[in-house]
Structure formats: structure tokens, C-alpha cells
Amino acid sequence: MTRYLLDTNIVSFYVKDAFPALTRRMQSVPGRQLFLSSVIEAELRVGLAFLPAHARARVATEELLRSIIVEPWDSRCAHQYAALAVAQKRTGKSLAALDSLIAAHAFALDVILVTNDAAFAHVENLRVEDWTKGPQPA
């Protein structure tokens, strides 16, 4: 079974219903195949802190957080992070700090990262899909 780690921007686009292709894909994938990283939950909660309690995006995000599996960032992730940091240092291509934690988590879980962030494209062996653009090639 293919599993997917949703990046922060994907969750944000989804709750705003910003991309019809993303909405269709999210609704077509069984919930047990979708995950968030605790790092992504933290990013989302920072964003929520700036929204009024009654904002539609806040309500939709809270609902999604209650319904989706949030995987903890653990020792497996730390090992992957170390390997990723070394590889980034060697290639001179680095990610923002939280993006590095998210990429490491995707490696540790052996999942596909669903993101609209082009920065992840240069991470070697990271499986990435952008559901905002419609169906992905197999």
C-alpha cells in the first residue's frame, strides 16, 4: 500500500479548496494512507494561532488534524536527518531547517511526500508528488 506524507502547503491548499485536482485526489485516497509529520502539525498550529477562532480555514484544519494520523518525529527520523544533512553539505544544496526535518521524516517512514514546494526536488531519492497539478505519472 502506497502511503503519503502531506506537506504543510498541501494541507493549507486543501482546507482552502484552492486546487480542484488536489481536493479530488485527497478525497480519492483512503485515509489510512495519508499521514502528517508532527513537524507539519507544528507548522499548521503556528498558522492557526494567527487565525480567528471562527475562520473557515481554522475549523477545516482542526477537523483534518483530528481525522489524520500524525506520526511523531523520532530517532529513526534523526538518523535520516543526519544522513540528509551530510548529503546536503556535500552537494551544497540545502533545505530550510523545517523542510529538512520533513524530508527526513518522509525517508524514515518510507512514504511519498506530497508537496507543492519545488525545494524538495533536489533531495536525492526523495519520492515527491504534487497533487495540485492533477494526476501524477506512474
Cell of 115: 508537496
- DSSP 3-state of 16: coil
Mind listing the pLDDT tens digit for each residue in 100-110? 999 999 999 99
Which burial class, exposed, middle or buried, applies to 27 when counting CB atoms under 10 A from its CB (0-12, 13-18, 19+)?
A: exposed
What is residue 54's predicted lDDT score, i.e. its pLDDT?
Answer: 83
Higher pLDDT, residue 109 or 136: 109
At position 40, the amino acid (one-letter code) is I
pLDDT classification of 116: cutoffs 50, 70, 90: very high
Cell of 38: 508532527
Mind listing the pLDDT tens digit for each residue in 28-84? 999 899 999 999 999 999 999 998 888 899 999 999 999 999 999 999 999 999 999
**Cβ neighbours of residue 94 closer than 8 Å, sequence gap 6 or more:** 88, 100
What is residue 136's predicted lDDT score, i.e. its pLDDT?
Answer: 55
**Domains of the chain as residue ranges with CATH:** 4-131 (3.40.50.1010)
The Cα diameter of the chain in Å comes to 47
